[in-house]
Structure formats: C-alpha cells, structure tokens
Amino acid sequence: MDKKYCAYLCSGCGIGDALDMDALAEVVTGEMSMDCKTADCFCGTDGRALIEADVGEGVNTVVVGACSPRVMKNEFDFGDGTITLRANLREQVVWAEDKPAEDEEPHAEAAEFLNETAADYMRMACTQAQKTELPEPHKLENLSRKILVMGGGIAGLTAAREAAAAGYEVTLIEKDDKLGGKANDWRQSFPTKSPWTDLEDNPVAAMISEVEGDSNITIKTSTEVARIAGGPGAFRVTMKAAGTETEWDAPAKVTGEERELIEKGEMENPNASLVDYMEADPNAEIHGAVVMATGWVPADVSEYEHLGYGAIKNVVTNVEFEKLAKEGKVPANVAFVQSPGGKDHDMDFPYCNSVTSMVALKQAQYVCEDNDEGKAYLLYQHMRTPGSQELYYKAAQQNDGIFMTKAAVTKVEENGDKLKVTAENTLLGEDLDLDVDMVVLAAGMVPTTKEEDTINLAYRQGPAFIDLDLFDGYADSHFICFPYETRRTGVYTCGGVRKAETIDEAIDDATGAALKAIQCLESTDRGVSVHPRSGDKTWPDFFMQRCTQCKRCTEECPFGALDDDEKGTPLPNNTRCRRCGTCMGSCPERIIGFTDYNIDLIGSMIKSVEVPEDDDDRLRVVVFVCENDAYPALDMAGMRGNGVNHMVRFIPVRCLGSVNMAWIRDALSAGMDGAMLLGCTYGDDYQCHFVKGSEIANKRMENIGETLSTLGLESERCATQQVAITDYDKIPQIVNDFVEEIVEMGPNPFKGF
C-alpha cells in the first residue's frame, strides 16, 4: 500500500505540561519526515474529527502520541484500511517520570531526560508505522460449521445441546453403547438451590431424551475417534467402532528418549507422514471445532494396602457405592474414608477434591434414609464444601445418624461379618475403633487425558496433548485466563476431563466450552485469531527459500501449529496458530514474521532509539515487555505515579517467546548498555498466555549470556524477569534495580563502534 503518514501529538492528560511539544513535533517532521499535528485532546470529538478528516483526505497511516495503546481503542480506530500506531507518552513517559526521592534535589536535566524519552517513543512509533503493512486475513474456502463433541455424559450432552440450540450442527460420539456416561449410575444429585439441604433428581435421563430429539445432533454410540487431522474450521475426523483397531489409528506416543533417537536419525518418526496419511482417509468427516468431554476415571486406591481395597470384600470406592445405592443396597453402618491415613496422615487421596467431599456427605445421607438405625462415619483430613454447599455440610452435621471427625485411618480389617476400622489423631483426642458393614474409599477423579490418548491427533508434535505430565494430566492451556482452551487450538475441554465438577458445574462448564467452540468457528471464518489475540488478522509468514530445515520453529510452537515434511521444512497450519510469534523468536535464519510484527520491524525500532555517546547519565536500556501482563502492569504503575529510570525504553512484544535473540544483538551493537525481558511466570504455576513462551525465552537468554561473555561483554547486561499483572507496584523497582546494575558496570564498551 502507498502510505500517507501523519502523526498526532496530544497535549492532554498532562502531556503538554510536561513535554516540549514543539521540539517533539520537530523530531517527527525532521527526523521521521512525517506531517505532525498537535491538539489538546485527540480522543475527544474535535480531536478525533481532525484525524478523521485527514483520513478522508488520504492519510492511511496514523501515529498517535498520547495515552497507552491499551486504552481509547475505539477512539483511535480509523477502520480496517488505516494503519494506526500509538506511542505511549502518557502512562509510560509523563506519568512514569523518574522523580527524585523526597530528600533528593531534582536532577538539573530532568526535563531534558523526559523530552528525550518522549522523542525516542515517537521515533519508535513512526518507525513501526513505516514498517507495518495491512494484514490479509487467512480465510478457509470450505469451512465446516459442524462441531464434534466427544463423550456423551453430562458435559457432552450439555455441549451438544447448547451448540445445537445456537444453530450449529453437532456430531456427538460416545464410546459406550448408550448415552449418559457415569451419571447413569448416580442415584441423586447435589442441591442446586435454597435451602441447599435437599438432594435432587438426577437430570441425566431427561437430558438424553432432549438430545436424542434434537434434529441438529447426530448421535454415534459405541464410537471412538481413531484420528483427528487438520485444524479449526477443517478438522478431518476419522471415527471407528469403540475398542477396535483400524489402519487409521494414531501411532503410539513418542517418548522423550525416542524423540532424541528420531532427531539423530536412528529411529523413524511415526508421526512424520501423518498429514498425508489422514488426507488419504476417504471416510474422514470434516468438523470445524471439537469439544472434548471424555470425563474422568476413578483413581486407583488399591495401593493403600492397610485399607484393603481389592483384598477385603465390602471395601468399595465411592463410585461403586453410588451404584449400590441406586440399586437400593445400602448397608446400615458405613465408614467413609476420605484420606489414605497410614503414613500419609495429612494427605488426601490423589485427585480428591470438593466433589469427593460432597459425594461422601450425599452417600452418608443415603445410609440414614435407607436404614432406620443407619450410621455413617466420615473420617477425613479435609472436607471441602465450597459456596452454598456449606449449608449442605451443616445440615449433615445436624443429622443424628452422621458422625464426622478428622481422623487418620490406620487399618481396615475383617472382623467376622463386619469390618473393623481403626483410626487415630481424631478431633476427639482419642483413637477410634469402628465396627461397620462397609468401608467406602473416596477415590479421586482422574481426567481421562491422564490415562489414555483420547484425542489422537495427526500432528507433527504427536497424537496427544503435549506436556500433560506437568499439569497432572489436565489439557488446559491456561486455567485462569482461558478456561476450556487446550494446547491444541479448536479443541476445548469441559466436565471431568477439565476439572472435578458436580453435575451442576459440568452443565455450566460445557455451555462455556460450546461457546468457545462457536467462537473458534466464527473467528476462523473471519480469518482471525481466537484468543488470546482475539481478532488478530495477522499470521506468521515464512520465507522458505532461506529455511535450513532446522525444525526449531516446529518443535517450539507451543500449539503444534507447524507440521513439517520429510526434509523438515515447516508446513504451517494457520488456523491452529495463536499468533504468539514463538516460531519467529526461535528461527535462527530470521525468516518468520507478521505484517505488523517482524524481525526487521522491531530491529528498526531498536535502532531508531537515540543512543548518546560518552554520557554516563544517558545510558540506554531496552526492555522487551510482554503485552499480556507486564505491559498493563507498567501502565498501572504509571497511573500510580511510580517512576521508571529515564534511561529505559520499553518495547511491547506479543510474548517473550517471540523475542528473537537478533534483537538483543541489535540493541547491544547499537550501543545500548543493557537488555531485559519482562514477562510472565513459567514453571508449574505458569502464567504465560502462550504456555511455554516465557520459559523458552529464558533458555535463549541463558545462551545469549554465554555468547556475550565470549565477546568480552558482561553476561549480566542481559536479564529476564518474571512478573504478574498484579506486580504493578514492584515492576518499576525491578527495572530500576537492573538499570542500577548496568550503571555500575558502566557503558557498553562497544558503544560508538
């Protein structure tokens, strides 16, 4: 596109009071060769009308020097045909001014420092405008609007029902020969309304009838997925009769050891030709999105030998007891053991949770309802009854037939027709011996993804969700910010495969997952990203002529968006892509980029920063800031008047995973004195919106530190910091401390070369 630029400098919100606006306009018109206009308030009606009039006259690339790009988005949206870039002069320059402490005199050059900072932000924004092109959304020609729901239990039934009610065609598959899943065996369900004390009828039969009568839903029982290829909008799904093996089955999972052998060429990659393989299946059915509601399985409790499961008759799991209760076979004296006891006094059974606590209360009620003299003993380490369920717990406390105590069960043994349960460390301060008819163990709820490969993807990174072991088998990609979303775009989980849930919660959850699947379909139809970068029209472009087939992008993409051919050339799947840019950060050849975010664009922004020589008061430190948490936290710090050292220049990035080490080299060879990456926490409690981006970036930074050492530069000139959005009060100090370290090290010795 032929660009016609204009920059707009806003003097509102204190910007004009703090900055020399004429000098700033001169930087834009002189150095950056762009027209520049100034007004008191560009977000107001008159200010916006001024820009709109210019756009009407042919300006198609607008640079706004004003508030943060995170605010006033509608006010500074001039339509799809106009490129708009924002320089954050308010939150991250004027409001974040590096003020002296109360007992310090202001620096004589404080005003100059502030103007220099603002000028650099305008230089960077203008450079960004010069290097940005309008994106062409990637649209599929034959997008399928059908949704595949895997699993016909409460969650699957709900997801199918809700998607169908919204007008979408659904295929519902269930591996058993009937719908309903485990809920078919539930006698009653928990209270869902005031006074929260009355058990309710199991809704599953009514839900099955509803789904069976819905003409938008095709039901396939005794059916499993053999393999799923493709991506959002066009998943190619091969189904098979449950329990059978077919030529289309996914290959075995590749272990870490095997992966190494494959990389060395000592083993054939069973996933290498998966794309061709699936395209060859003439019976594959095309679906636009997948809702995975494959449920949970009871955790194995046989390892706790002192509790006797599997060895002693009448020691059963909570799942088995519920079935007995439905059949009316509830004995009169029952002990409910909620934690292993034995040596692990303080522990719960694996995968125990609030649902298993509630189940024990419900089943204790069955004991009293079905037997005149019924006695239920609940022995627990933790009872979890969240929200209004607490009222159900309190009602159980008032039930004369229910006895509850914290206790560690040390032994269950046969005692004639009865069972003897021995427990210690009780709330009564005494050890307990109970004679009961039955012992019920609170087996936890293990997601089916932990036990088996239910998804069977034809993806280069393998048929299962990756790194499941790190997340206890749960497939969520970001439990807090993006519920339902897995590490495979277009596949959403709900119900017990996502987290332990009551029936009521599973119904809510599945409705959410169905909506996500719909959102995915509609976004894919528009050629835009689903989330976290909702609505993003860009996608990674590969300059394949220079690809060395090193496979780094294929392996590092957190979402399996890249397959590859037999030589290792990446085969992008744009609808699977979340636009994080991790592939761009990984590529040593620097041949991956987006129209508005690429190696040259950010490299040029870095080089546009003015780096003074021989001035210890004017060192320069570039900080690459994750746009998801760290950038808004910095804005908040500015709003609270927390000052940032005047030597710092922030550059927002999509994810730290997208930071290519070429940018660090660009910064240091441009004479900058330090470089920092400010992004999300990684590890078990990761916050990275793209799962692995910040962790990958950290590893790359360790390597660049070593490279710097070989060049005679201190490795400490580069650093990575993990922060969360709630760290707005700490981030300025983190950045300022880093600057202090750089000041102590002194200027970059290569400055000026």
Q: Does 465 bind ligand SF4 (CB under 6 A)?
A: no
Instruction: Name the strand (E) or helix (H) holding 130.
Output: helix 110-131
DSSP E strands: which ranges in 333-463? 333-337, 375-380, 402-406, 408-415, 418-424, 432-436, 438-441, 445-447
Strands (DSSP E) contained in 221-374 are: 223-231, 234-241, 285-287, 289-292, 296-298, 315-317, 333-337
Report the residue from 239, 254, 330, 561 that binds ligand SF4 according to the rule CB under 6 A.
561
For the bound state, the minimum distance from the C-beta of residue 579 to ligand SF4, rounded and expressed in Å, comes to 5
Distance in Å, CB of 723 to ligand SF4, minimum: 22
Pair type for strands 315-317 and 408-415: unpaired
Residue 495 · residue 445 · CB < 8 Å: no
Q: Report d(CA 167, CA 185) in Å as an integer.
A: 31
Q: Which of 13, 207, 464, 591 binds ligand SF4 (CB under 6 A)?
A: 591
x/- map, 59-98, ligand SF4, by CB under 6 A: ----------------------------------------
Estimate the crossing angle of helix 599-608 against helix 661-669, to 10 degrees.
20
Is the distance from CB of 439 to CB of 335 less than 8 angstroms? yes
Number of residues that bind ligand SF4 (CB under 6 A): 26
Interface residue with ligand SF4, options 580, 599, 672, 676 (CB under 6 A): 580
The CA distance from 426 to 415, in Å, is 22
Q: Which tokens go with 229?
A: 């290829």
* By CB under 6 A, residue 391 contacts ligand SF4: no
Mask 493-532, x = binds ligand SF4 (CB under 6 A)?
Answer: ----------------------------------------
| CA max distance for the chain | 98
Closest CA to 293 of 571, 87, 493, 78: 493
CA distances from 449 to 231, 446, 462, 496, 507 (A): 20, 8, 14, 10, 20
In whole angstroms, how close is the CB of 439 to ligand SF4 at the nearest point?
50
Ramachandran angles phi, psi of 489, nearest 5°: -60, 135
CA atoms within 13 A on the CB side of 602: 30
Of the pair 248, 597, the CB lying nearest ligand SF4 is at: 597
Residue with Cβ nearer ligand SF4 (293 or 562): 562
Identify residues 675-704 at the interface with ligand SF4 (CB under 6 A): none
Closest CA to 315 of 408, 413, 440: 440
697 φ, ψ to 5°?
A: -60, -40
Considering only CA atoms, give the Rg of the chain.
31
Shortest distance (Å) from residue 560 CB to ligand SF4: 8
Among 586, 608, 645, 694, binds ligand SF4 (CB under 6 A): 586
> Between 362 and 551, whose beta carbon lies closer to ligand SF4?
551
For 356, other C-beta atoms within 10 Å of its C-beta total 26
Smallest distance, ligand SF4 to C-beta of residue 482, A: 14
Binding status of residue 335 toward ligand SF4 by CB under 6 A: no
Q: How far apart are CA 720 and CA 494, in angstroms?
A: 35
DSSP letters for 55-115:
HHTT--EEEEEES-TTS-TTTT---TT-EEEEEETIIIIITT--PPPTTSPPPTTHHHHHH
Beta carbon nearer to ligand SF4, 468 or 550 = 550
**Nearest distance from residue 663's CB to ligand SF4, in Å?**
16
Which DSSP letter does residue 293 get?
-
Pairing of strands 648-653, 621-626: parallel
Q: Which is nearer to ligand SF4, 156 or 593 (CB)?
A: 593
Q: Cβ 549 to ligand SF4, closest distance in Å? A: 5
- Of 531-560, binders to ligand SF4 (CB under 6 A) are 540, 542, 547-553, 557, 559
Which neighbouring-strand residues pair with 238? 227
Shortest Å distance, C-beta 564 to ligand SF4:
7
Nearest CA-CA partner of 559 in 530, 519, 536, 537 = 530
Task: Compare residues 487 and 499 and give the one whose CB is closer to ligand SF4.
Answer: 487
Residue 587 is a binding residue for ligand SF4 (CB under 6 A): yes
Q: By CB under 6 A, tell whether 570 contacts ligand SF4.
A: yes
| Residue type, position 659, single letter | V
Give 261 or 550: the residue with its C-beta nearer to ligand SF4: 550
Residue 394: CB atoms within 10 A of its CB come to 12
Strand partners of residue 441 = 317, 337
From 148, 592, 651, 668, residue interacting with ligand SF4 (rule: CB under 6 A): 592
The span of 175-183, 310-318, 576-584, 624-632 binding ligand SF4 (CB under 6 A) equals 576-584
Report the C-alpha gap between 476 and 444 in whole angstroms.
19
577 lies in the site for ligand SF4, by CB under 6 A: yes
Least separation in angstroms between CB 540 and ligand SF4: 5
Nearest approach, Cβ of 582 to ligand SF4 (angstroms)? 4
Chain residues 173-212 in contact with ligand SF4, contact rule CB under 6 A: none
Nearest residue (CB) to ligand SF4, 203 versus 490: 490
Residue number, 287 or 578, with CB nearest to ligand SF4? 578
Taking the complex as a whole, the smallest distance from the CB of residue 557 to ligand SF4 amounts, in Å, to 3
Choose among 241, 253, 243: nearest CA to 283: 241
Which CB, 579 or 649, lies closer to ligand SF4? Answer: 579
Q: Which is nearer to ligand SF4, 139 or 418 (CB)?
A: 139
CA–CA separation, 396 and 385 (whole Å): 12
Residue 618: both structure tokens together: 């004017």
* Closer residue to ligand SF4 in complex, CB, 188/586: 586
Rounded least distance, CB 518 to ligand SF4, Å: 21
Residue whose CB is less far from ligand SF4, 501 or 563: 563
Q: Kindly state whether residue 589 participates in binding ligand SF4, applying the rule CB under 6 A.
A: yes
The encoded tokens of residue 225 equal 């997925």
**Min CB(631)–ligand SF4 separation in Å:** 18
Residue from 374, 581, 603, 732 touching ligand SF4 (CB under 6 A): that is 581
Q: Which residue in the block uniquely carries the two structure tokens 């083993």?
A: 267
In whole angstroms, what is the distance from residue 654 CA to residue 523 CA?
19
486 binds ligand SF4 (CB under 6 A): no
- In single-letter form, the type of residue at position 290 comes to V
Q: Which is nearer to ligand SF4, 513 or 587 (CB)?
A: 587
- In the complex with ligand SF4, the residue whose CB is nearer, 516 or 649, is 516
Q: Based on CB atoms, which residue is closest to ligand SF4, 540 or 747?
A: 540
Of 128, 171, 538, 582, the residue at the interface with ligand SF4 (CB under 6 A) is 582
Whether residue 632 is preceded by a cis peptide bond, meaning omega within 30 degrees of 0, is no
Write down the least CB distance from residue 538 to ligand SF4, Å. 9
In the complex with ligand SF4, the residue whose CB is nearer, 196 or 235, is: 235
Q: How far is the CB of 255 from ligand SF4 (least distance, A)?
A: 23
Q: What's the rounded Cα separation, in Å, for the pair 692 and 466?
A: 11
- Summarize as ranges the residues that interact with ligand SF4 (CB under 6 A): 540, 542, 547-553, 557, 559, 561-562, 570, 577-583, 586-587, 589, 591-592
